Amino acid sequence: MPQKFSTKSVQSLSRRNDVLTYSPWLAPIVWNGTYNIDILNAQFHLRDVRIGLTTFAIKKYVMFLKDFLETAEKFFMVGHKVNYYVFTDRPNDVPNITLSEGRRVEIINVTGYQRWQDVTMRRMEMIHNQCAERFIKEVDYLVCVDVDMKFLANVGVEILGNVFGTLHPGFFGASRPQFTYERRPESVACIPVDEGDFYYAGGYFGGNVEEVYKLTNFCHNSMLKDKEMGIEALWHDESYLNKYFLYYKPKKILSPEYVWNDYYGSPAAVQVKRFIGVDKNYAEVRFK
Ligand code: 2GW
Ligand code: MN
């Protein structure tokens, strides 16, 4: 039998009046103060849920892994079963981190593409392939993120759902014409000026394995179709992801707390910065 769920009554939950907390298709937008983590944790523990966190550390980006993994141990899905899936071309440079019980690091060997645009875009293909290969057998949910990031506060099961996207920190207060969607009609990623709901971040999406399989398949195939026509979407994988979410709307939407960058300052709406971009020395880590 389940234990006592929560001492707080549902009626005592605080509300947020300063931000949008539901999309027009009734997907909750997850902001601090809109959920009770004790209720959610109890529900997910009952199902003994397993969560996969995928990230890519190709070439010099292995340097981000230490902070990424160490802070994930402190803040990501604490108390739950977690597999870290590190896709890398430098398996020997993956740092050895002390992990809590029920958590492990799985290294997936991949080759690094030459063009950086391919490094970021081909993530869709590689995640897609691994969904069928192993994720479906090993985890219930996937969370797919950039590696040049670290956790500063808890990121828990409140983010999990069928399929979810995250509001890009640069555009959560912006309106439709300002979104940096791909606008050229020749591209599969094109979103006309009179369409689009939110601008989602390329560096944070997920859902159950079947849904991530479909999402990554769409993004990868769209990229290939564009490539055949000699076109590449403005923001690479992010543009294809935004196109996918236009037609297959996410069932849950994460606030930019989950993919913040201090480049955008500290607006009042963002009460907690949970996962934040690490300063990159571009000359040092980037190539071409
Ligand atoms: C990427 C750009 C230029 C040079 C190198 C790389 C690179 C990226 C790399 O050498 N090795 C590597 O592992 N990556 C992976 O791709 C890594 O996981 C990294 O976090 C991710 C995205 O690249 P990043 O973080 O340098 O680009 P951002 O922070 O500007 O990413 C946003 O825009 C991208 C599309 O251009 C993606 O949509 C990404 O998800 C967004 O956050
Ligand atoms: Mn990044």
Which is the closest atom of ligand 1 to the Cα of 146?
Answer: 20
Q: Which atom of ligand 1 is nearest to the CA of 277?
A: 29
Backbone angles phi, psi at 30, to 5 degrees: -80, 105
For the stretch 100-140, pLDDT in tens is 999 999 999 999 999 999 999 999 999 999 999 999 999 99
Residues 209 and 140: beta-carbon distance below 8 Å: yes
Complex ipTM tops 0.90: yes
Pocket of ligand 1 (CB under 6 A): 55-59, 61, 116, 119-120, 146-148, 201-203, 235-238, 286-287
Residues 76 and 69 sit within 8 Å (Cβ to Cβ): no
The pLDDT assigned to 13 comes to: 66
pTM for the full predicted model: 0.96
Which of the residues are catalytic? 238
Q: Would the pLDDT of 264 be above 50?
A: yes
Q: What is the pLDDT of residue 37?
A: 96
Q: Are 218 and 240 in contact (CB under 8 A)?
A: yes
Pocket test for ligand 1, best of 54, 56, 61, 118 (most atoms within 8 A of CB): 61
Are 190 and 182 spatial neighbours (Cβ–Cβ below 8 Å)? Answer: yes
Distance 24 CA to ligand 1 centre (A): 31
The Å distance, Cα 276 to ligand 2 centre, comes to 10
User: How far is CA 49 from each of CA 63, 106, 139, 266, rounded to the nearest angstrom?
Assistant: 30, 18, 8, 33
DSSP 59: G
Chain mean pLDDT for the chain: 95
Burial profile 138-161: b = 16 or more Cβ within 10 angstroms, e = fewer: ebbbbbbbbbbbbbbbebbbbbbb
User: What is the DSSP annotation of 251-280?
Assistant: SEEE-GGGGB-GGG---TT-----EEEPP-
Q: Residue 36: which of 18, 55, 10, 68 has the closest Cα?
A: 10
Give the pLDDT band (50/70/90) at residue 31.
very high
**182-240 pLDDT per residue, tens:** 999 999 999 999 999 999 999 999 999 999 999 999 999 999 999 999 999 999 999 99
Q: Which of 164, 145, 142 is nearest to 250 (CA)?
A: 164
Is residue 54 within 8 A of residue 87, CB to CB? The reply is yes
